[in-house]
Each structure stands twice: as C-alpha cells, then as structure tokens.
Amino acid sequence: MFKASAKMDFKLRRPLEASSNASSSMMSEISRNLKPGLPFIPCDSTNICYGARQEQSFSEFPPPQVTQCHGLYAREQKTETKNQLEPSSAVNDLVMDWNPRLMLSNLSFLEQKIHQVQDIVRSIISQEGRANELAAQQQLVTADLTYIIIQLISTAGTLLPNIKNALLSATPVAQTGVVANLPVNASQKHHEVLSVELAKASEYDELIKDLNSGGEGDELIKCLNNSVAEVSESIPIEDHDIKDYDDGMDGENLPPGSYEVLQLEKEEILAPHTHFCLICGKGFKRDANLRMHMRGHGDEYKTAAALAKPSKVASSEPAIIRRYSCPFVGCKRNKEHKKFQPLKTILCVKNHYKRSHCDKSYTCSRCKTKKFSVIADLKTHEKHCGRDKWICSCGTTFSRKDKLFGHVALFQGHTPAIPMDDAKVSGMSDHVQVGETTNGMVANMGYNFSGNASDDAQSLDIKDVDDGQGYFSPMNFDACNFGGLDEFPRSAYDVSESPFSFLSTGTCSFIPRNGEN
C-alpha cells in the first residue's frame, strides 16, 4: 500500500506543481492588483510566511517514506490553499469596493484549478481498480472541488442577490453506488436536473455571463453543483448527533411531508450579507437597508412602491409551511437524518450551522478561554463573563448560587469558596491569586495546558523546535489539529481516517487560529 501511495504521489505531483505555480502567479497578480494599504494584506502575508515556515519545519522531520509523502503534499497543498483562500476572504472583505479585475483573476484561477481536477479525474479513470488509491484520489478531488466551490460562491456572493435559495434547495439526485465512474457522468446528469431549476434563477446566469464573457460561469456552476451532488451522495449518512442547541424547533412535531424543506448551502449560510445591490454589488444584511441604499442609484428607486416592503406574493398559497435543513450530512437537522428535525427559520439555520459545524473563532476577550462561533453568543457570554463568582473549593465555577450549593450538597467535602470583594475579583484575572478561591481554578487550567503541550510533544517527537518561531512551530500547529483543543467539525466527507486527514480539516481550521495568535 505504501508503494502504491508513493506511486500515486508521483502521479499527483505534476498537477500539484502546476497548481502551486498557478497560486504563486496569482499571488503576484493579486498583489499587483490591490493597493498596498488594504486591510487583508498583512493577514495574508503572515499566512504566506507561515507557509514558508511550515515548509521548513516539515523538512526537519525524520523522513520515513509515507510521512514524507504527506509532508510534501501537505506543504504544497497548504501553500496553495492558503494563497487561494486568502484572496477569497479578501474579496469578501472588499465587498464595499468590488474589484472586477480581481474577480476575473480569481475566476481564471478557478478555471485552472478545475482543469487540474479534470486531470486527476482522468487519471482515476485510466487507472481504474485498486480501491485504496481510488478512495484517496477521490478525497483529493472532493477536497479540491469543495475548495473551488468555496471560492466560487464567495466570489459570486459578492455579486449576487438572493438567487441562491432556489439553487440550493435543489433536492439531491439519487445516485448512490456509482462511485467508480461518478464524477463526469454524475455531473452531467446532475447538471441537467439543476439547470431546469436554475431557469428561474436567470438573473444569476446572466450576471455570471456578463462578467465572465461566455459560458465559463455556466461551467463553473456545473462543476459546483456536480461537486455538491457528489459530496452529498458519496458518503453514507452517519448517525452522529451533534449536540443540539435550542434552535427553536424542538417540540414541534410536524408530520414529514407536511412542509417544504429548504436546504441552504454552507457558503450561503456563512455569507455575511444576504441582500445585494444589483447595480453596485454592495451587500446588506437586511432588505430594508438595501432599499434605503437603492435610493442613491436614482429616482426610480425613490418611489413609494420601490421603497415599500415587498408584499408577500406567496400569501396566495399560505398552506405551505417552510422548514429548513442543515447542509451538514449526518446532522440531526439534515433532511437525510433518520430522525430529521427541521429548523424553523433561516436565522435558526445560520445559528445552528455556525454553532454546530463551524470553527469557534470568537474568543471572549475577558476570560480568553470561552469560544463562540456566533457573535451574539459571545456578546451574551461577555455580559456574564467574570461574574462566575460562585466558586467551589474544587475550582468549579458557577454563575448561580443555587447551582453551586447543589454541587456542594452533592459532593462530600466540597465547600463554596468565599467570594472576593469586587476589587479583588477584578485583580484576579491579572494576577495569580493567593487563597483558596482561585487556586484550584488556576491549577486546573495550568494542568490542562501543560497536559496538552506534553502530549503533543510526545506524539510528534520533535527535538528541535525553532524558538524564534514559537508561534508557528509545528508543535503548535499540530496542537491545533490533534490536541483536541480545536473543535473544528469534521467536514461532510469525514476523512479523518484517510492519509490526507489534515488536508481538509487542518488547512481550514488552521487559518483562524493562526490569525488569532
């Protein structure tokens, strides 16, 4: 198997090298295109830096063959994805002053990327057989495709109005079991199906066509949908229930079929804006804000009719109850789940998806430990953070006295710690406290931290860590991925067992953490 993977590695190299070339060329293009003072640039550069260092540190590995293969691949893939991801986020950030050139370069890069994928797929077809390799390659393809999707959607998201609902509510096409020759055929079929549905979304097509001079956009969408279909089909649905937050649906027992299920796509859920100006492309969170904005584009938008709330045309058919499905396959809120529990509103979907399947990138500025994926949760927490003045002698903290006393009643020998004066409490966060109240807590935290660090050091067995690059040392990097600190949810295609495990999880989860440091 090792041999095989090594072989595969050789085969893979060509396209990957190409991609890395492409990425570097694109980087230069971006840096040319963008003015120097733009906010995303420093962030980007750190990541580039990181990529370089990562390369160094990996080269320090004692090279057994398989890891070498990983390492190589990881390195290239990483630099590549990094460079590509960042511009996209930059594009997101730059929604305000949208740059068509940047868009163009993005798209042309995507085109190249798609060609690469095609190459891989071709190589799969020509190879045909050995399941192990196939699986690995398939993962590779899916990884690339998802990446493309993310790029595409985020690029398109800067331009597009609310067309996506229609696009994404498309019901998955039943195509199980055709794994071997799936990509091409499936995509064609699927595209046919989808294109019908997309007819209503003509605006979308037109827009893309206008911008990309011809059928390219179409092709992109083809690929996109293709990959989406593949992704959702190729993985057996698992039953891992992720802890449910209150998303407003529990207790509602609608009989299945009595309501229409819509499923927004991940990227759409995560898009910062949902309403976009058709003229300048500016995005808004609320339709009302967009309408206000439209006034600036001319007198025709200032009429009472244009400013009025769009009347609910759908009210003619009031019977349809709309419910939402989470795009995360295997989630209880996903419509494929056996005990599917739909989500009530789009807001519920957004919150649910962020909470359950996204990185918790908002850290509480006070306690530095609690993390949230929904900013409102962070704000709620920050209101109460530091007010956990009810502390048990064992170090456990409680926000409510009765909870603490319940705890004390339950455990032999535990006593409530005496709450400090306010002045002392405020000082507590800054200095190491003397006295029983916080000792336990501090000790606990300290323990956790050191435990993790040592674990990682052991598991990696790295002797020389460059101190100068403390933050970016491989140890730190791996702590993020394997130390269990990071709760990055496994993506839909659960690849944790495959040799490419950190291509999908690691690369994505790594970025925010690095920025945080």
Partner 1 sequence: MKRAHQQHRHQPFDSILAALSVDLLIQILERVDDPRDRKAWRLVCRDFLRAEALHRRALRVLRLEALPGLLRRYAACLDLLDLSACPGLGDHALATALFAGAGSWLLKSVSLSRASGVGWRGLAALAAACPRLESVDLSHCVGVGDREAAALAAAEGLRMLRLDKCLRVTDVGLAKLAVGCPALENLSIKWCLEISDIGIELLAKKCRDLRVLDISYLKITNSSVKSISSLGKLEVLSMVGCSNIDDEGLQFLDNGSNSLRSIDVSRCDNVTASGLTSVIEGHICLQKLNVGDCFPELAPLFLSKLNGLKDSLTVLILDGFQVSASSLKIIGVNCKNLSEIGLSKCKWVTDEGISELAAGCVNLMSIDLTCCRMLTDKALMAIGEQNKKLVCLRLESCSLITDKGLEHIGTGCPNLEEIDLTDCPITDTAMKYLSRCWELMILKLGLCDKISSEGLVHIASNCQNLRELDLYRCIEVTDDGLAAIATGCSKLQKLNLCYCIQITDRGMKHLSCLEDLRDLELRGLHHVTSLGVTSIAIGCRRLTELDLKRCNLVDNVGLCALAQYTGNLRQINISYCPVSSMGLCKLLGTLKCLQDVKLVHLTHVPVEHLELALRAYGGQLKKLKLFIGLRDLLSPWLIQMLHARRCRIRWVDKPLVFSP
Which of 36, 255, 257, 413 forms a contact with partner 1 (CB under 8 A)?
413
Cβ proximity to partner 1: between 189 and 403 the closer is 403
Phi/psi of residue 332, each to 5°? -65, -25
CB of 386 to partner 1, least distance (A): 18
What does the buried/exposed string (b/e) look like for 390-411 if buried means 16 or more CB atoms within 10 Å of the residue's CB? Answer: bbbbebbbbeeeeebeebbeee
Cβ proximity to partner 1: between 100 and 406 the closer is 406
By the rule CB under 8 A, 414 interacts with partner 1: yes
- CA nearest 231: which of 504, 37, 462, 12? 504
CB of 402 to partner 1, least distance (A): 5
Scanning the structure block, which residue is given the tokens 């868009």? 103
Sole window of 35-43, 160-168, 218-226, 404-412 interacting with partner 1 (rule: CB under 8 A):
404-412
CB of 443 to partner 1, least distance (A): 20
Cβ proximity to partner 1: between 314 and 409 the closer is 409
* Own/partner long-range contacts of 221-225 (Cβ < 8 Å, ≥24 apart): 221/152, 221/194, 222/187, 222/191, 223/114, 223/117, 223/145, 223/148, 223/187, 224/148, 224/149, 224/152, 224/153, 225/170, 225/187, 225/190, 225/191, 225/194
Q: Using CB under 8 A, which residues numbered 27 to 56 contact partner 1?
A: none
By the rule CB under 8 A, 409 interacts with partner 1: yes
**Alpha carbons 500 and 73: distance in angstroms, whole number:** 9
**Alpha carbons 258 and 255: distance in angstroms, whole number:** 6
CB of 388 to partner 1, least distance (A): 14
**Alpha carbons 196 and 217: distance in angstroms, whole number:** 16
Cβ proximity to partner 1: between 402 and 467 the closer is 402
CB of 419 to partner 1, least distance (A): 7
Which of 56, 380, 399, 415 forms a contact with partner 1 (CB under 8 A)?
415
Which of 239, 299, 317, 402 forms a contact with partner 1 (CB under 8 A)?
402
By the rule CB under 8 A, 416 interacts with partner 1: yes
By the rule CB under 8 A, 418 interacts with partner 1: yes
Sequence-separated (6 or more) residues with CB below 8 Å from residue 261: 169, 323, 324, 325, 335, 342
Which of 136, 153, 408, 511 forms a contact with partner 1 (CB under 8 A)?
408
Binding site for partner 1 (CB under 8 A): 401-402, 405, 408-409, 413-419
